[in-house]
Structure 1
Amino acid sequence: MEHGKDLVERAIRDLEASPRTSRTGAGPTEPRRDPALVDAINQVFALFRLNYHNQYYSAYGDAGQLSQVKRLWLDSLAGHGTEAILLGARRCIETSEYLPTLHRMLECCREATLAAQGLPDAHAAYREACLAPEPKQAAHWSHPAVFHAGREAGWFYLASTPEAKAFAVFEKRYRAVCDRIVAGEVLQLPAPEHSPETAAALAVPDADEQRERLARLRAETGV
């Protein structure tokens, strides 16, 4: 009978070989998977084996099942980079004493990706959006995502609605904005809006106005 270590090592060999040998029902060979992602998944399961020893062998005691689970995780986590996957695994370990499900792993990878980009948690973002001074475009934001979520939720709504109701609305918008960031979108803050007086002062005069100003200046100075 194979020991646990032998089962894991055999499963790793099966996982690495499967892209080259597996065939779908239609017959063509599966696309070769990214070796870096395969290695990241193997590292994740090695971390889980060390930290959830008894739970791990209870859940993945069968090598064939372990190989299938790894393929599922590999396909599901392929949208995250290898660094986010490893950070997500460590986040799982640090926040739970139980062997994580794929759903929990996806959440941890998402949280790790957002944290690496400096995004605050939903409640901190909500407080920031509510307390930001006017004009909103000129306020100092911890991340553009907070501004965009606040704008989509509605500044007046956030200011006039109790947190018990407003937070759920903001959180939904914030999560949607964060999902766009995880998907690779880069958000920017809009250019600050100027008051009419400031806008007029910053405006570049046309050629006729420049000549008029120059004539007045010469008349005033006698040049």
Structure 2
Amino acid sequence: MDSKQLLNRVTQQLKQASADSVTQAGQNSAPSDDQLSAINQIFELFRFNYHNQFLKAFPDLDTMNMAKRLWLRLLGDYTGEVIMRAAEKAVKENSWLPNVHEVLARCDVAEVLGLPSAHAAYVEACRAPSPKKEFNWSHAAVYFAGLSTDWFFIANEPEEKVFPVFKRNYELLLNRLQNGESLEIELPKALPEETTTPLSREEQKARMQDLMGGF
């Protein structure tokens, strides 16, 4: 395939993918400055690391801007930091120019937030003793993912059935965290310690008379 054919193919794919993404995600909110900056940095990173491949894929400004708009739509669920880390991983692991799906597959919110991976969180949820609320969780998101998945379901069904459900719940919670929401486990309040004050001699005498009055 010569350069002209490659260009035509890439352009057609971008146009089709862009149209599809508008149909599927037409209601998406506008990208943040953080996301816009990340996409621009990614394309500069790719230009530097895959110079010849980059120029063949994006030979003019219009083609590159069309690609950037597509990437913003497809990566719109992630913060700029998550997107950048994913792109850097893709560069380390690929000798060829990565596409958006390869970057998308490497987006790891848990890693950026310093939380356990989905599977590590699942193992933690499986091993946590009861009462669950009082366990020393690595993060509240792990507890709430287990709660949403259902503790009985986790304890009584095989991993291949439970983990996909847990993973989805965990990822939803991670997205809430990366958007600035906080998660806290509300522990039951401890009962106040019972304090007793000794009865005075007069109170003891009165109580004794009350008891004697029943006979």
Give TM-score, length-normalised by structure 1. 0.64
Aligned match of 1:118: 114
Cα separation, partners in 2 of 1:97 and 1:150, compared to 1, 3 Å: farther
Pick closer, same or farther for the CA change 1:150–1:34 going to 2, 3 Å. Answer: closer
Is the aligned partner of 1:105 residue 2:94? no
Bigger radius of gyration among the two: 2
| Structure 2: distance between partners of 1:179 and 1:99 | 28
> Which position in structure 2 is the counterpart of 1:73?
71
**Pairing of 1:46-65 with structure 2 (within 5 A):** 46-65=44-63
Against the structure 1 CA distance between its residues 90 and 59, is the aligned structure 2 distance closer, same or farther, given a 3 Å change threshold?
A: same
Q: CA deviation at 1:42?
A: 2.5
What is the rounded CA distance, in whole Å, between the counterparts of 1:65 and 1:46 in structure 2? Answer: 15
Q: Which runs of 5+ in 1 are unaligned?
A: 1-32
Aligned to 2:87: 89
Q: Is the 8 A contact 2:38 2:83 kept in 1?
A: yes
Contact persistence 2:126–2:155 (CA under 8 A): yes
Give structure 2 stretches of 5+ with no counterpart: 1-30, 205-215
How far apart, in 2, do the equivalents of 1:168 and 1:35 lie?
33
The percentage of counterpart residues that share the same residue type is: 40
- Partners of 2:136 and 2:61 lie apart in 1 by 53
1:174-213 aligned within 5 A: 174-191=170-187, 193=188, 199=190, 202-203=191-192, 213=196
Q: How far is 1:58 from its partner?
A: 2.7
1:164 and 1:74 map into 2 onto residues whose CA distance is: 33
Identify if the C-alpha distance between structure 1 residues 189 and 60 changes in structure 2 by more than 3 Å, giving closer, same or farther: same
> Once the 2 structures are TM-superposed, how far is the Cα of residue 148 of structure 1 from its aligned partner?
0.6
State the secondary structure of the residue aligned to 1:108: coil
The residue type paired with residue 144 of structure 1 is: A
Aligned counterparts of 1:79 and 1:164: Cα–Cα separation in 2: 26
Structure 1 residue 76 displacement after superposition: 5.2
- Residue in structure 2 matching 1:158, options 154, 158, 164: 154
What residue identity is the alignment partner of 2:176?
Answer: R
Give the alignment's TM-score, normalised by structure 2: 0.66
CA contact (8 A) 2:113 2:178 kept: no
**2:38 matched residue in structure 1:** 40
2:181 counterpart SS class: coil
Q: Which has the higher contact order (CA 8 A, sep 6+)?
A: 2
Specify whether residues 65 and 204 from structure 1 end up closer, same or farther in structure 2 by C-alpha distance, changes over 3 A only. Answer: same
Q: Contact 1:77–1:106 at 8 Å: present in 2 too?
A: yes
Out of 140, 161, 167, the position equivalent to 2:136 is 140
Q: Distance in 2 between matches of 1:85 and 1:35?
A: 13
Task: Give the total of aligned pairs.
Answer: 174
8 A contact 1:118–1:142 mirrored in 2: no
Root mean square deviation of aligned Cα: 3.2
